[in-house]
Amino acid sequence: MGTIPTFVTDGRRVAAFEELVLSNNQFTGMIPSEIFEYENLTMLDLSTNSLSGTIPEKIGMLSNLNALDLSSNQLTGRLPATLSNISTLFRFAAKSNNLTGNIPSISKFVSFLDLSYNNLSGEIPSDLLASPNLEYVDLSANQLGGAIPTNLSIGLQFLQLSGNLLSGIIPASIGMLWQLAYLELDNNNLYSEIPSQLGNCRNLAYLDLSSNALHGELPKEIGNLQNYLEVLALQMNNLSGQIPIEMLELQSLQVLNLGGNSFTGEILPIISNFHQLSNLGLQRNKFIGTIPNSINGLQNLIELNLGSNLFDGPISPNIGDLHFLEILDLSYNHFSGQVPDSLSTIPNLTKLALSYNNLSGDLDLSRFLPSVNVVTIGNKNLIILNGSAESNSPGNDVFVTTDSSKRKIKFALVVVSSFVAGFSVSFLMSSLTWKFLIRKKAADAQEEDRLSDLNNRKRLQMVQRLRMFHERYYLGQLTTALEAL
């Protein structure tokens, strides 16, 4: 509460600091200039307060600073150009403020950079992502434009540029980032093909290219990512062609969303290879054929969205074997015949969309649990017993589930990102180990709150696996760094 203390009395400093951690308080006002007189500071953490005003240019006086965290305040104005004077700066985070203007030059020794959720604009400096020490970059949720720089550090492990105004191509040089684990380029204006060189990034666990204007066919080299890839989000683009058979090598995949494109072809019976898959979104494409009976091999499936395609034939009764399934959307296709009784036996089902098909026979809605929202409007030969085609619907249209996979992907990223941010500037200094543990505990508590809302053990397992993957990267580096000190 109140303003940040200056530790100065009668013009004299009453203490000497090398590390100053004032995070997670309720400090208000501006950053006091007196702080920058502590030239021996190696760490300054003012995150998660209510500080306002600009970042003073005097920050460049802290020539020994290793870690600077100004995240989650109300800071405004531009990033000071004097940041480039701090040649010792390894970690810099200023996310979740109201910063504006261009990104200035920053120390070439920076390994962690998080400026997400601001109002930064202009192009990404051509050398910003080229620092040989750079491992983690998050510039998401800004107003950055222009092209993605082609000069990229081969040490990058996390690259998040989503929610900007970036245009042009996905540079083929990304294929040289063999350590890359997370790549998020969604919600931009990228309009190239997906480069085949992405198949060289064999440590990728998370790939989100959704909501752009990407075109062309999926490169078969995507199948090279079978070791770790768990999330593949390509929805809302202009992609076309058939799904390459090589994609079925991605047996670690848990979320696959191809919705809102122009993909063609059939669902192959060997789709059952995706043993870990929990979300499958093929909605709003041009897929044809029937649902293979092997669909029951996807025993971890939570959501299956095949809506708005050209599927036909009977609905496979084997879908009833998917006991974790919560959402099933088969609407706006050409399915025919009776609705399998097995659909009413799925214990976790909450939403079933069968609207606008050619279904016939009797469908007794009393066989479903009261919590299941069944929508059948648009099947003129389907006789509804103990209900009506619209009685369970929130409106006259089917429920919308097309973005639920996207929400799950974002949830997983939020958990991982909050975990990273929890110790964003800590692992190179042994004296900060306690800070890492405290923040990790807080991040875990936030995660548990989110998971209690989701109330689904399969989602919990997925998030835990993603977090464990992240911990293998950064806790291993923390141990190595501390042993070296």
DSSP 113-181: EE--SSEEEEEPPTTGGG-TT--EEE--SSEEEEPPPS---TT--EEE--SSEEEE---GGGGG-TT--
Contact 235, 207 (CB under 8 A): no
The pLDDT of 77-100, averaged and rounded, is 95
The confidence score (pLDDT) of residue 90 equals: 93
Between 94-103, 280-289, 351-360, 417-426, the lowest mean confidence (pLDDT) is in: 417-426
Of residues 247 and 431, the one with the higher pLDDT is 247
Q: Is the pLDDT of residue 146 over 80?
A: yes
Side chain identity, residue 140? S
- Where residue 134 falls among pLDDT bands split at 50, 70, 90? very high
- Token pair 């936030």 in the structure block, residue: 446
Torsion angle of the four alpha carbons 480, 481, 484, 485, in this order, in degrees rounded to the nearest 10: -150
The pLDDT of 98-110, averaged and rounded, is 93
Of residues 143 and 432, the one with the higher pLDDT is 143
The confidence score (pLDDT) of residue 471 equals: 41
- Token pair for residue 41? 């500071």
What percentage of residues in the chain have a pLDDT greater than 90?
70
Mean of the per-residue pLDDT values of the chain:
83
Q: Is the pLDDT of residue 455 over 60?
A: no
The pLDDT of 422-426, averaged and rounded, is 35
Side chain identity, residue 297? G
The confidence score (pLDDT) of residue 1 equals: 65
Per-residue pLDDT tens digits for 378-403: 999 999 998 776 644 433 333 333 34
The confidence score (pLDDT) of residue 398 equals: 38
Sketch out the chain's domains with CATH numbers. 1-88 (3.80.10.10), 89-385 (3.80.10.10), 419-484 (no CATH)
The pLDDT of 435-450, averaged and rounded, is 38
Of residues 67 and 12, the one with the higher pLDDT is 67
Length of the chain, please? Answer: 485
User: At CA 364, angle to CA 361 and CA 366, rounded to 5?
Assistant: 175
Taking the C-alpha atoms of residue 379 and residue 138, their distance in angstroms, rounded to an integer, is 48
- Token pair for residue 439? 């923040």
Taking the C-alpha atoms of residue 304 and residue 124, their distance in angstroms, rounded to an integer, is 38
- Token pair for residue 476? 């291993």
The confidence score (pLDDT) of residue 35 equals: 87
The pLDDT of 332-353, averaged and rounded, is 97
- Global confidence as pTM: 0.82
- Token pair for residue 194? 């997906």
The confidence score (pLDDT) of residue 7 equals: 66
The confidence score (pLDDT) of residue 417 equals: 42
Taking the C-alpha atoms of residue 414 and residue 96, their distance in angstroms, rounded to an integer, is 13
Q: Is the pLDDT of residue 475 over 60?
A: no
User: At CA 441, angle to CA 90 and CA 133, rounded to 5?
Assistant: 15
Contact 190, 166 (CB under 8 A): yes
Distances (CA, A) of 478 to 65, 421, 428, 437, 483: 19, 15, 7, 12, 9
CB burial of 183-204 (b: ≥16 within 10 Å; e: otherwise) equals: bbbbbbebebebbebbbbbebb
Beta-strand relationship, 303-305 and 279-281: parallel
Per-residue pLDDT tens digits for 231-278: 999 999 999 999 999 998 999 999 999 999 999 999 999 898 899 999
Per-residue pLDDT tens digits for 92-102: 999 999 999 99
- Token pair for residue 162? 């989503």
What's the longest Cα–Cα distance across the chain? 89
The confidence score (pLDDT) of residue 430 equals: 28
- Where residue 33 falls among pLDDT bands split at 50, 70, 90? confident
- Where residue 3 falls among pLDDT bands split at 50, 70, 90? confident
SS3 250: coil
Q: Is the pLDDT of residue 188 over 60?
A: yes
Per-residue pLDDT tens digits for 276-330: 999 999 999 999 999 999 999 999 999 999 999 999 999 999 999 999 999 999 9
